[in-house]
Structure 1
């Protein structure tokens, strides 16, 4: 039996592509955060604050949470309840200066995580992507949910100073 490798970029129906696209956007914005002035930014809903480290932490946590959810759904077992306080909590470490080393770590971590989810979805295959699962999102719906750069957009592009108030 001969197997052939397919170039992942040649896929036409690929629900995980949206996740890698969001990660690219997150990292594009993160490259501007080396200029961060140390002041947290208020989210659009006015309920949370964001710093570069918090955005990276929350985006990575979001990817991990939903990768675990995908794995549990495919295994036919309940997902582990989430015990994190999520984005309502800001840690002392979230206020640290964002350095080139931090950016490099974020690039490596987020790129690998988003690619892992994409590959997992591809391995699960089209028959699993839209299969209803009692009380849960489909795998495609999970991918669409995770495929958002919302956390990073809350901090935004810091390559130029914010407009004067």
Structure 2
């Protein structure tokens, strides 16, 4: 497993290589090699589990980890593994470090921590999974235990975490 640390407002430490926000596209490629995929102003690495977005000047403005709890890339932020720690626990850590406004407009599916320019996202929230289970029972097709555990596990962990330049989420 790679050793990756997310450093809000700075960049990432990737196996002792610093990739700073505002690094050039060339710098990213020289440190990580040829990208796995390219889409407009983005470079993707590690089977699309890591994305770098570039501004109009070719500088990194956003870095996102897309691997989730089961992915091969497991970055740390503020001393915890972002995808392994419970979603509520990471929320509390980010809230404390942020010390200010949070964009919570997506009702628990995502949050933007405005002062530290960190965003987290998940496809489901625990209450949504409970509703899905109840609907399945009402439809006469109850979910099996493995499916319920899988859905709750996903809902209780973040699927993505990203960092941006200052004011990225404002």
Shorter-chain TM band: under 0.3
Select the structure that is richer in strand.
2
Which structure is higher in RCO with an 8 Å CA cutoff and minimum separation 6? Answer: 1
Select the structure that is richer in helix.
1
**TM-score, normalized by length of structure 1?**
0.27
**TM-score, normalized by length of structure 2?**
0.27
